[in-house]
Amino acid sequence: MIAIGERINGMFTDVKKAIADKDKKVIQDLAKRQTEAGATYLDINVGTAAADQAATISWLVETIQETCRTPLCLDSQKPDVIAAGLKAADTSNGILLNSSPLNKKSDEDVLDKYIEMAEQAGPEGKLITLTMDKNGVPQDVDTRVAIAAEIVQKAMEKGFATDRLFIDPIILPVNVPNAQIQPTNILDAIGQIKYLAEPAPHITMGLSNLSQGTTQRSLINRVFLAMALSHGADSAIVDVLDEKLMDVLATTEILLNKQLYSDSYLKAYKGR
């Protein structure tokens, strides 16, 4: 699975404080620990931690790259923030842009902009897209899949290979009133989205969102990760520092025959 480490995000108090204090050590330590824990990419999201998001994402990119070669996942809904991050980033190892909806009321062509930026980032430039359009986040399976199909079509029209595309069907917190059907809808949507193109688009999700505000956050995340992988997801934005979550991931991959079993497979997974 392509594990995207979620921790370098301005919504976490330690990161917010580090951004305010320009404390490189906290950021570099998180980058290093997430890499050692098995992150394929490190997500970077300034969030509300700074007024000047473009300058801050550049600082985060440079700070991380001083000590760490792990590919980055630049996370912002604003194309100019992504562009600032890209300018500072070493993309030779790969880069992931996160994320674009199909379109927005305020910006019909937002997806084109993200695809172009991913294209310009080199052959390993990849893009996360959301099953969301100007009408908002769909609640049902069919609209999610229909939006995903339009995204895939747009990528193909622009000559952007479908295996450079990640589709995020958008997980909502399970404790939202009347939203308890959503996890099942997500699983059904995943099962259909992976057949939209050959090669299949990657399927990812912001896993921790599912358990927002619940009393069993880690448990819910771990169980749903196994469920999503078994339905065809192959990526997630996760807390890679949750060791048990990573053990669930390694075990699920063994049970799905994605990795060779060995008695020390948990150790092997961490050493990847």
Binding segment for other proteins among 3-11, 70-78, 107-115, 258-266 (CB under 8 A)?
Answer: 258-266
Cβ distance to other proteins smaller for residue 116 or 124? 124
Where do the DSSP E strands lie in 11-161? 41-45, 72-75, 95-100, 125-130
Tokens representing 3 are 């594990």
Length of the chain: 272
Instruction: Specify the residue for token string 């590919």.
Output: 71
Total number of residues that touch other proteins (CB under 8 A) = 12
Site string for other proteins, 65-104 (x = CB under 8 A): ----------------------------------------
> Which range, of 80-88, 109-117, 189-197, 253-261, touches other proteins by CB under 8 A?
253-261
Tokens of 143: 């609209």
Residue type, 50: A
Nearer to other proteins, 25 or 122 (CB): 122
The residue range among 54-62, 139-147, 165-173, 256-264 that interacts with other proteins, by the rule CB under 8 A, is 256-264
Q: Which helix (H) or strand (E) holds 226?
A: helix 217-231
* Under rule CB under 8 A, residue 105 binds other proteins: no
- The residue range among 76-84, 173-181, 200-208, 255-263 that interacts with other proteins, by the rule CB under 8 A, is 255-263
Cα separation, 264 vs 270, whole angstroms: 10
- Partnered with residue 129 across adjacent β-strands are 100, 167
Q: How far is the CB of 229 from other proteins (least distance, A)?
A: 15
Q: How far apart are CA 75 and CA 237, in angstroms?
A: 11
Closest distance of CB 38 from other proteins, Å:
12
Question: Are the CB atoms for 68 and 34 separated by under 8 Å?
Answer: no
Task: Give the single-character DSSP code of 210.
Answer: G
198 binds other proteins (CB under 8 A): no
Could you tell me which stretch among 63-71, 82-90, 137-145, 261-269 binds other proteins (CB under 8 A)? Answer: 261-269
Min. distance of Cβ 259 from other proteins in angstroms?
7
Residue 175 in the binding site for other proteins (CB under 8 A) = no
DSSP codes, 203-262: E--BGGGGGTT-S-HHHHHHHHHHHHHHHT--EEEE-TT-HHHHHHHHHHHHHTTSS---
Report the residue number, 54 or 240, with the smaller CB distance to other proteins: 240
* Most distant CA pair in the chain, distance: 54
What is the closest distance, in whole angstroms, from the C-beta atom of residue 258 to other proteins in the complex?
Answer: 8
**Shortest distance in whole angstroms from residue 243 CB to other proteins:** 18
Nearest 10 degrees: Cα torsion 108, 109, 114, 116:
180
Distance (Å) of CA 26 to CA 17, 69, 72, 213: 9, 17, 17, 26
Give the residue with the Cβ less far from other proteins, 213 or 271. Answer: 271
- Choose one: 50-58, 110-118, 219-227, 252-260; the region binding other proteins (CB under 8 A): 252-260
**Residues found near other proteins in the complex (CB under 8 A):** 258-265, 267-268, 271-272
